[in-house]
Amino acid sequence: MTDPLIAVDNLSFCYGQDSSNAIQALDGVSLLIERGSYAAVIGHNGSGKSTLAKCLNGLLLPDDGSVTVEGMDTREPGHRYAIRTLVGMVFQNPDNQFVATTVAEEAAFGGENLGVPRRELLSRLTQALADTGLSDLAERNPSTLSAGQKARLAIASILVMRPACLVLDESTALLAPLARQELLELIDRLHAQGLAIVLITHQMDEVVRAESVHVLDEGRLAVSGTPQEVLLHPALAGLGLDLPPAAQIAAGLRQRGLDLPDDTLDRAQLVRALLDLHEARE
Protein backbone atom coordinates (compact mmCIF):
# COMPACT_ATOMS: atom_id res chain seq x y z
CA MET A 1 0.00 0.00 0.00
CA THR A 2 1.40 3.40 -0.99
CA ASP A 3 1.71 6.26 1.46
CA PRO A 4 -0.98 8.96 1.29
CA LEU A 5 -0.29 12.26 -0.41
CA ILE A 6 -1.25 14.21 2.73
CA ALA A 7 -1.40 12.74 6.23
CA VAL A 8 -3.01 14.76 9.03
CA ASP A 9 -2.22 13.14 12.36
CA ASN A 10 -3.82 14.32 15.63
CA LEU A 11 -3.63 17.93 14.40
CA SER A 12 -4.40 20.72 16.86
CA PHE A 13 -4.18 24.45 16.24
CA CYS A 14 -5.05 27.38 18.49
CA TYR A 15 -5.31 31.05 17.51
CA GLY A 16 -3.83 33.37 20.14
CA GLN A 17 -2.54 30.44 22.14
CA ASP A 18 -0.82 32.64 24.71
CA SER A 19 -3.65 35.14 25.13
CA SER A 20 -6.80 35.21 27.21
CA ASN A 21 -8.85 35.16 23.99
CA ALA A 22 -7.38 31.92 22.67
CA ILE A 23 -9.53 30.01 20.16
CA GLN A 24 -9.01 26.27 19.74
CA ALA A 25 -9.69 25.97 16.01
CA LEU A 26 -8.62 22.35 15.56
CA ASP A 27 -8.47 19.66 18.20
CA GLY A 28 -6.96 16.26 17.43
CA VAL A 29 -7.96 15.99 13.75
CA SER A 30 -6.66 12.99 11.79
CA LEU A 31 -7.39 12.21 8.14
CA LEU A 32 -5.68 11.06 4.95
CA ILE A 33 -5.76 12.55 1.46
CA GLU A 34 -4.78 9.94 -1.10
CA ARG A 35 -3.16 10.72 -4.44
CA GLY A 36 -5.76 11.52 -7.08
CA SER A 37 -8.63 11.50 -4.57
CA TYR A 38 -11.52 13.94 -4.17
CA ALA A 39 -12.33 14.92 -0.59
CA ALA A 40 -14.86 17.42 0.71
CA VAL A 41 -14.63 19.08 4.12
CA ILE A 42 -17.83 20.52 5.57
CA GLY A 43 -19.04 21.97 8.84
CA HIS A 44 -20.88 24.94 10.27
CA ASN A 45 -19.23 28.38 10.48
CA GLY A 46 -16.36 28.31 12.94
CA SER A 47 -15.95 24.54 12.76
CA GLY A 48 -12.30 24.79 11.66
CA LYS A 49 -12.61 24.15 7.92
CA SER A 50 -10.48 27.08 6.70
CA THR A 51 -7.90 26.50 9.42
CA LEU A 52 -7.52 22.90 8.27
CA ALA A 53 -7.16 24.07 4.66
CA LYS A 54 -4.30 26.40 5.59
CA CYS A 55 -2.58 23.62 7.52
CA LEU A 56 -2.54 21.31 4.50
CA ASN A 57 0.24 23.25 2.76
CA GLY A 58 1.98 24.85 5.72
CA LEU A 59 0.38 28.29 5.73
CA LEU A 60 -0.44 27.44 9.35
CA LEU A 61 1.71 25.08 11.42
CA PRO A 62 0.42 22.60 14.02
CA ASP A 63 0.57 23.39 17.71
CA ASP A 64 0.35 19.64 18.25
CA GLY A 65 0.25 16.64 15.95
CA SER A 66 1.55 16.84 12.39
CA VAL A 67 0.76 17.36 8.72
CA THR A 68 2.98 15.65 6.17
CA VAL A 69 2.92 15.99 2.37
CA GLU A 70 4.61 13.14 0.53
CA GLY A 71 6.32 12.39 3.84
CA MET A 72 7.55 15.98 4.33
CA ASP A 73 6.59 17.60 7.64
CA THR A 74 5.09 21.08 7.17
CA ARG A 75 6.94 22.28 10.30
CA GLU A 76 10.31 21.75 8.64
CA PRO A 77 11.35 25.06 6.99
CA GLY A 78 13.36 23.24 4.35
CA HIS A 79 10.26 21.42 3.09
CA ARG A 80 7.82 24.29 2.78
CA TYR A 81 8.81 25.38 -0.73
CA ALA A 82 8.27 21.86 -2.09
CA ILE A 83 5.07 21.40 -0.08
CA ARG A 84 3.52 24.61 -1.40
CA THR A 85 4.39 23.54 -4.92
CA LEU A 86 2.68 20.20 -4.42
CA VAL A 87 -0.39 21.57 -2.62
CA GLY A 88 -1.95 24.64 -4.27
CA MET A 89 -4.50 26.84 -2.50
CA VAL A 90 -7.43 28.81 -3.93
CA PHE A 91 -9.16 31.12 -1.47
CA GLN A 92 -12.69 32.53 -1.38
CA ASN A 93 -11.48 35.88 -2.75
CA PRO A 94 -8.87 35.25 -5.51
CA ASP A 95 -8.06 38.99 -5.69
CA ASN A 96 -5.94 38.47 -2.58
CA GLN A 97 -3.71 36.10 -4.54
CA PHE A 98 -3.06 38.24 -7.64
CA VAL A 99 0.20 40.12 -8.17
CA ALA A 100 0.48 40.68 -11.95
CA THR A 101 -1.16 43.04 -14.44
CA THR A 102 -2.25 40.53 -17.09
CA VAL A 103 -3.88 37.12 -16.95
CA ALA A 104 -0.91 35.48 -18.68
CA GLU A 105 1.63 37.06 -16.33
CA GLU A 106 -0.44 36.07 -13.32
CA ALA A 107 -0.80 32.47 -14.45
CA ALA A 108 2.94 32.23 -15.19
CA PHE A 109 4.09 33.84 -11.93
CA GLY A 110 4.39 30.68 -9.84
CA GLY A 111 6.18 28.75 -12.57
CA GLU A 112 8.65 31.59 -13.04
CA ASN A 113 9.44 31.54 -9.34
CA LEU A 114 10.07 27.81 -9.54
CA GLY A 115 12.63 28.45 -12.27
CA VAL A 116 10.77 26.46 -14.94
CA PRO A 117 12.68 26.84 -18.26
CA ARG A 118 10.99 29.36 -20.55
CA ARG A 119 9.97 26.92 -23.30
CA GLU A 120 8.48 24.55 -20.74
CA LEU A 121 6.84 27.45 -18.91
CA LEU A 122 5.15 28.69 -22.10
CA SER A 123 3.88 25.17 -22.79
CA ARG A 124 2.48 24.86 -19.28
CA LEU A 125 0.96 28.33 -19.48
CA THR A 126 -0.78 27.60 -22.77
CA GLN A 127 -2.20 24.37 -21.38
CA ALA A 128 -3.31 25.92 -18.08
CA LEU A 129 -5.13 28.79 -19.81
CA ALA A 130 -6.80 26.34 -22.18
CA ASP A 131 -7.84 24.03 -19.34
CA THR A 132 -9.42 26.91 -17.43
CA GLY A 133 -11.06 28.57 -20.45
CA LEU A 134 -8.97 31.74 -20.24
CA SER A 135 -6.93 31.54 -23.46
CA ASP A 136 -8.80 34.45 -25.07
CA LEU A 137 -8.30 36.62 -21.96
CA ALA A 138 -4.52 36.28 -21.69
CA GLU A 139 -3.84 40.03 -22.06
CA ARG A 140 -6.68 41.20 -19.82
CA ASN A 141 -6.01 42.78 -16.44
CA PRO A 142 -7.14 40.33 -13.71
CA SER A 143 -9.05 43.13 -12.00
CA THR A 144 -11.43 43.31 -15.00
CA LEU A 145 -12.43 39.64 -14.82
CA SER A 146 -15.67 38.31 -13.41
CA ALA A 147 -15.63 36.48 -10.08
CA GLY A 148 -15.82 33.11 -11.83
CA GLN A 149 -12.99 34.00 -14.21
CA LYS A 150 -10.84 35.14 -11.27
CA ALA A 151 -11.37 31.81 -9.55
CA ARG A 152 -10.33 29.99 -12.72
CA LEU A 153 -7.27 32.23 -13.04
CA ALA A 154 -6.21 31.35 -9.50
CA ILE A 155 -6.46 27.68 -10.51
CA ALA A 156 -4.51 28.30 -13.74
CA SER A 157 -1.66 29.89 -11.79
CA ILE A 158 -1.46 26.75 -9.66
CA LEU A 159 -1.69 24.34 -12.61
CA VAL A 160 1.42 25.90 -14.15
CA MET A 161 3.36 24.67 -11.10
CA ARG A 162 2.15 21.09 -11.73
CA PRO A 163 0.75 20.40 -8.25
CA ALA A 164 -0.39 17.06 -6.90
CA CYS A 165 -3.31 18.53 -4.95
CA LEU A 166 -5.65 21.50 -5.23
CA VAL A 167 -7.23 22.84 -2.04
CA LEU A 168 -10.24 25.13 -2.58
CA ASP A 169 -11.27 27.08 0.52
CA GLU A 170 -14.90 28.16 -0.03
CA SER A 171 -13.91 29.10 -3.59
CA THR A 172 -17.48 28.83 -4.90
CA ALA A 173 -19.11 30.79 -2.06
CA LEU A 174 -19.24 34.18 -3.79
CA LEU A 175 -20.06 32.96 -7.30
CA ALA A 176 -23.29 33.27 -9.24
CA PRO A 177 -24.98 29.90 -9.99
CA LEU A 178 -23.65 29.59 -13.56
CA ALA A 179 -20.09 30.55 -12.57
CA ARG A 180 -20.23 28.12 -9.65
CA GLN A 181 -21.35 25.30 -11.94
CA GLU A 182 -18.56 26.09 -14.42
CA LEU A 183 -15.96 26.05 -11.64
CA LEU A 184 -17.24 22.75 -10.26
CA GLU A 185 -17.12 21.20 -13.73
CA LEU A 186 -13.53 22.43 -14.11
CA ILE A 187 -12.66 20.84 -10.77
CA ASP A 188 -14.27 17.58 -11.92
CA ARG A 189 -12.16 17.61 -15.10
CA LEU A 190 -8.95 18.26 -13.20
CA HIS A 191 -9.74 15.42 -10.83
CA ALA A 192 -10.40 13.12 -13.79
CA GLN A 193 -6.89 14.02 -15.01
CA GLY A 194 -5.39 12.76 -11.74
CA LEU A 195 -5.25 15.86 -9.55
CA ALA A 196 -6.22 15.35 -5.90
CA ILE A 197 -8.96 17.74 -4.78
CA VAL A 198 -9.79 18.99 -1.29
CA LEU A 199 -12.99 21.04 -1.46
CA ILE A 200 -13.77 23.12 1.64
CA THR A 201 -17.41 24.09 1.30
CA HIS A 202 -20.68 24.88 3.03
CA GLN A 203 -22.69 24.11 -0.14
CA MET A 204 -24.16 20.69 0.58
CA ASP A 205 -24.96 19.93 -3.06
CA GLU A 206 -21.23 20.13 -3.85
CA VAL A 207 -20.42 17.38 -1.35
CA VAL A 208 -22.03 14.70 -3.52
CA ARG A 209 -19.32 15.20 -6.17
CA ALA A 210 -16.59 14.04 -3.78
CA GLU A 211 -15.37 10.51 -3.05
CA SER A 212 -14.99 11.11 0.68
CA VAL A 213 -16.50 13.65 3.08
CA HIS A 214 -15.13 14.87 6.41
CA VAL A 215 -17.36 16.80 8.81
CA LEU A 216 -15.77 19.15 11.33
CA ASP A 217 -17.57 20.28 14.47
CA GLU A 218 -15.99 22.63 17.01
CA GLY A 219 -12.54 21.80 15.63
CA ARG A 220 -12.97 18.04 15.85
CA LEU A 221 -13.61 15.46 13.17
CA ALA A 222 -17.19 14.37 13.80
CA VAL A 223 -18.00 12.10 10.83
CA SER A 224 -16.07 10.73 7.84
CA GLY A 225 -17.09 8.46 5.00
CA THR A 226 -18.52 8.41 1.51
CA PRO A 227 -21.08 11.11 0.60
CA GLN A 228 -23.87 8.55 1.08
CA GLU A 229 -22.57 7.48 4.50
CA VAL A 230 -22.09 11.04 5.74
CA LEU A 231 -25.20 12.70 4.32
CA LEU A 232 -27.43 9.90 5.59
CA HIS A 233 -25.70 9.75 8.98
CA PRO A 234 -28.14 10.29 11.87
CA ALA A 235 -25.75 12.78 13.52
CA LEU A 236 -25.82 15.18 10.57
CA ALA A 237 -28.82 17.25 11.69
CA GLY A 238 -27.30 17.71 15.14
CA LEU A 239 -24.19 19.20 13.54
CA GLY A 240 -26.15 22.10 12.05
CA LEU A 241 -26.01 20.77 8.49
CA ASP A 242 -28.85 20.22 6.02
CA LEU A 243 -29.24 17.65 3.29
CA PRO A 244 -28.50 18.76 -0.29
CA PRO A 245 -31.56 20.36 -1.97
CA ALA A 246 -32.26 17.31 -4.15
CA ALA A 247 -32.19 15.05 -1.10
CA GLN A 248 -34.59 17.37 0.73
CA ILE A 249 -36.99 17.26 -2.24
CA ALA A 250 -36.74 13.46 -2.35
CA ALA A 251 -37.48 13.24 1.38
CA GLY A 252 -40.51 15.49 0.94
CA LEU A 253 -41.81 13.38 -1.94
CA ARG A 254 -41.38 10.21 0.11
CA GLN A 255 -43.51 11.79 2.83
CA ARG A 256 -46.18 12.31 0.17
CA GLY A 257 -46.13 8.63 -0.70
CA LEU A 258 -43.68 8.39 -3.60
CA ASP A 259 -41.41 5.34 -3.40
CA LEU A 260 -38.02 7.02 -3.90
CA PRO A 261 -34.70 5.47 -2.76
CA ASP A 262 -33.39 6.72 0.58
CA ASP A 263 -29.97 7.41 -0.99
CA THR A 264 -31.28 9.93 -3.53
CA LEU A 265 -28.81 12.76 -2.89
CA ASP A 266 -28.28 14.81 -6.05
CA ARG A 267 -30.34 16.19 -8.92
CA ALA A 268 -29.32 13.51 -11.43
CA GLN A 269 -30.27 10.73 -9.00
CA LEU A 270 -33.58 12.44 -8.28
CA VAL A 271 -34.45 12.79 -11.97
CA ARG A 272 -33.55 9.14 -12.65
CA ALA A 273 -35.61 7.95 -9.67
CA LEU A 274 -38.64 9.96 -10.79
CA LEU A 275 -38.34 8.68 -14.38
CA ASP A 276 -38.05 5.10 -13.13
CA LEU A 277 -41.12 5.61 -10.97
CA HIS A 278 -43.07 7.09 -13.88
CA GLU A 279 -42.10 4.23 -16.21
CA ALA A 280 -43.05 1.65 -13.58
CA ARG A 281 -46.54 3.16 -13.32
CA GLU A 282 -47.21 3.16 -17.06
Q: 52 — phi, psi (to 5°)? A: -60, -45
Flag whether 127 is in a domain.
Answer: yes
Rounded to an integer, the average pLDDT of 124-147 is 96
The pLDDT value given to residue 244? 78
Q: In what order do the strands lie in the sheet with 165-169?
A: 87-90, 165-169, 196-200, 38-42, 212-217, 220-225
Calpha distance 156→150 (Å, rounded): 10
Flag whether 78 is in a domain.
Answer: yes
Answer yes or no: do 134 and 157 share one domain: yes
Answer yes or no: do 276 and 183 share one domain: no
pLDDT band at 1 (very low <50, low <70, confident <90, very high): low
Flag whether 42 is in a domain.
Answer: yes
Answer yes or no: do 20 and 60 share one domain: yes
What pTM value is reported for the model?
Answer: 0.88
Answer yes or no: do 209 and 279 share one domain: no
Between the alpha carbon of residue 44 and those of residues 114, 140, 236, the distances in Å are 37, 37, 11
Q: 196 — phi, psi (to 5°)? A: -75, 140
Answer yes or no: do 103 and 197 share one domain: yes
Between the alpha carbon of residue 131 and those of residues 73, 153, 169, 254, 282, the distances in Å are 31, 10, 20, 41, 45
Answer yes or no: do 188 and 176 share one domain: yes
Answer yes or no: do 37 and 167 share one domain: yes
Number of domains forming the structure of the chain: 2
Flag whether 1 is in a domain.
Answer: no
Answer yes or no: do 70 and 96 share one domain: yes
Q: 194 — phi, psi (to 5°)? A: 110, 0
Asked if pLDDT for residue 277 goes beyond 90, the answer is no
Where residue 112 sits, what CATH number does that domain have?
Answer: 3.40.50.300
Flag whether 226 is in a domain.
Answer: yes
Answer yes or no: do 174 and 251 share one domain: no
Asked if pLDDT for residue 82 goes beyond 70, the answer is yes
The pLDDT value given to residue 278? 67
Question: Pairing relation of β-strands 6-15 and 64-69?
Answer: antiparallel
Report the sign of the C-alpha dihedral through residues 184, 190, 193, 199, in that order.
negative
* Residues ≥6 apart with Cβ < 8 Å to 258: 277
Report the sign of the C-alpha dihedral through residues 218, 195, 34, 158, in that order.
negative
Print burial letters for 243-252: b (CB count within 10 Å at least 16), e (below 16). Answer: bbebbebbee
Answer yes or no: do 202 and 281 share one domain: no
Q: Which helix (H) or strand (E) holds 192?
A: helix 177-192
Asked if pLDDT for residue 160 goes beyond 90, the answer is yes
The pLDDT value given to residue 282? 65
Q: How far is CA 91 from the centre of its chain?
A: 10
Domain residues for 253? 243-282
DSSP 8-state assignment for residue 143: G
Answer yes or no: do 210 and 279 share one domain: no
Answer yes or no: do 116 and 218 share one domain: yes
Rounded to an integer, the average pLDDT of 132-143 is 96
- For 201-258, what is each residue's pLDDT tens digit? 988 889 989 999 999 999 999 999 999 888 888 788 788 787 778 888 877 888 887 8
Q: Give percent of the chain above pLDDT 90.
A: 67
Q: 15 — phi, psi (to 5°)? A: -80, 135
Beta partners for residue 167, in sequence order: 89, 198
